[in-house]
Amino acid sequence: MTKRTRVRFAPSPTGGLHLGGVRTVLYNYLFAKSQGGDFVLRIEDTDQTRFVQGAEEYIFNCLKWAGLEPDESPLKEGPYGPYRQSERKAIYRSYAEQLIKDGFAYYAFDTTEELEKMRTDFKTESNPSPQYDHTVRMKMRNSLTLSDAEVQELLKNGTKHVIRILLTPSETVSFTDMIRGEVQFDTSVVDDKVLLKADGMPTYHLAVVVDDYLMKITHAFRGEEWLSSAPVHILLWKYLGWEKDMPQWAHLPLILGPNGKLSKRDGAKYGFPVFAMNWTDAKTGELTEGFKEKGFLPEAFINLLALLGWNDGTEQELFTKEELIQKFSMDRVHSGGAKFDYEKAKWFNHEWIKSKDAKSLMPDIKSILTNKGINITNEGFLEKVIHLVKDRCTLLSDFYEQCHFFFKAPETIDTASILPKWNESRRNFFKELISAYGKLDPWNAGSAENLLKQMAAASQIKPGDLMMPFRIMLVGGKFGPGVFEIAEILGQRETIARMEKTLALLP
């Protein structure tokens, strides 16, 4: 029987989620869904020194916004919970002790000062930051160098200690990465990582392996930055006797910015978001902008993320989530870094805004306008407005600029742009147009345009010369969608009122 596919996203809640993090979520999610499997969210919070208030909630909110909600998580317990590692503390020690019993790990009692001393004593030019490894372990205070009796005594007295993995040097650890193929490491370069800390909490290395095992994870996809930890994890799978259940690994390529790895700093420097949602660092108060608040649609966001490192082998660029689920496969994920291009990201959003119908955009736009002080009383009217302007909006935040004048008559009117070509005949023309518009029936963009053109021909004025003043009368400046469409939506009375108001300001 083939195993049910189970993948996990296992963030440490230490801050906002950047593009790379959400892309890891997305690839996990798409893979799970494409296989009819489960997507698990596990919070890896065993390093209490890195605890950041609000970071966990932020992760839940991001996944919710992006539409990538897990099947099991701290908020949605499943059969393998708890899903927060700090709540699983009691589980890990027995595995660490099992490793000691089997000769794959040892107790280490070295104090901070002793470790510090080791780092200075063994420092050489070729080894500027010595690690706790096969070259030094026999010179330290641990269960390899102390007698059994001494070790038992120390443990009995509650002496602070950690448990470290015992690595055999000069072994080759290899595995097949789903993206990179065969990957090999020499154990000589890996240190004896701490597995269980003095506070009884496991380190990431032990916890990730134990939990992937207990949660029956079949595939582990994570960022390339974790590749160097893979040998320790693979050895742990082996040492714990679980090798045949080891997940298949995939280390996802970096997302590159203008200068190498995409960073928060790039975002600040070039003015684009790198986080999924706004994140404010509680300590520094520093705000990192998010795609959501910048005005991206979640559909566009996951679409652009999917294409940062994957394609379906065709030229297609726009995919719905359902299509992505259908088409996604790990063997089309590139191993090289994927370059993030903000202009392209905006293109995705623009395409998505265009393709959505006005009704589905309504809740977002309504809240944007309301936040800007526009009170929406008529949703049918709002829908018409959205329909008219949406093709002109790249970001949701552009809607305000593109449509505020439908809801509030312009406060300032750019008469200066009308004046250079303003004269008696123009004035008369608009006066006559106002009275003709008053009788126009039916009132719509086509009828308003025809009438203006007929009257322009009769007065021998080029219609083109009339459009700009007419537009300024309606919206206050030289912007906005088609002027007759604006007139139609504003309605006959409001159009005439705005024309009269501007005429009164002109000589």
Q: Where along the sequence are the contacts to ligand GLU (CB under 6 A)?
A: 10-12, 44, 204, 208, 222, 226
**How do 260-261 and 255-257 pair as beta strands?**
antiparallel
Closest distance of CB 56 from ligand GLU, Å: 12
Nearer to ligand GLU, 165 or 413 (CB): 165
Closest distance of CB 14 from ligand GLU, Å: 7
Closest distance of CB 446 from ligand GLU, Å: 58
Phi, psi of 6 (to 5 degrees): -135, 125
Closest distance of CB 112 from ligand GLU, Å: 24
CA R_g for the chain: 32
Nearer to ligand GLU, 232 or 302 (CB): 232
Nearer to ligand GLU, 89 or 387 (CB): 89
Residues 6+ apart with CB under 8 A from 52: 13, 14, 15, 282
Token duo for residue 52: 């950041």
Nearest 5°: the CA angle 18, 20, 22 is: 70
Residue in the shown chain whose Cβ atom is closest to ligand GLU: 222
Phi, psi of 135 (to 5 degrees): -80, -25
Asked about 421 being catalytic, the answer comes back as no
Residue 68's alpha-carbon distances to 10, 61, 62, 475, 493, in angstroms, are 14, 10, 8, 40, 47
Closest distance of CB 44 from ligand GLU, Å: 4
Residue 211's alpha-carbon distances to 70, 109, 405, 432, 438, in angstroms, are 16, 26, 56, 79, 74
Nearer to ligand GLU, 38 or 44 (CB): 44
Question: Is residue 280 within 8 Å of 287, Cβ to Cβ?
Answer: yes
Closest distance of CB 60 from ligand GLU, Å: 15
Look up tokens 């029936």; give the residue.
441
Nearer to ligand GLU, 242 or 422 (CB): 242
Nearer to ligand GLU, 82 or 130 (CB): 82
Closest distance of CB 335 from ligand GLU, Å: 18
Residue type at position 207: A
> Each residue of 459-485: b (16+ CB within 10 Å) or e?
eeeeeeebbebbbbbbbbeeebbebbb
Nearer to ligand GLU, 11 or 273 (CB): 11
Considering Cα of 97, then 99, then 100, then 101, what sign does the dihedral take? positive
Which residue among 33, 193, 264, 292 is the active-site one?
264
Nearer to ligand GLU, 141 or 222 (CB): 222
The helix/strand/coil state of 116 is helix
Question: Is residue 50 within 8 Å of 12, Cβ to Cβ?
Answer: yes
Q: How far apart are CA 3 and CA 335, in angstroms?
A: 27
Closest distance of CB 283 from ligand GLU, Å: 19
What DSSP string describes 246-302? PPEEEEEPPEEETTEE--HHHHHHHT---BSS-EE-TTT--EE-BHHHHT--HHHHH
- Active site amino acids: 264
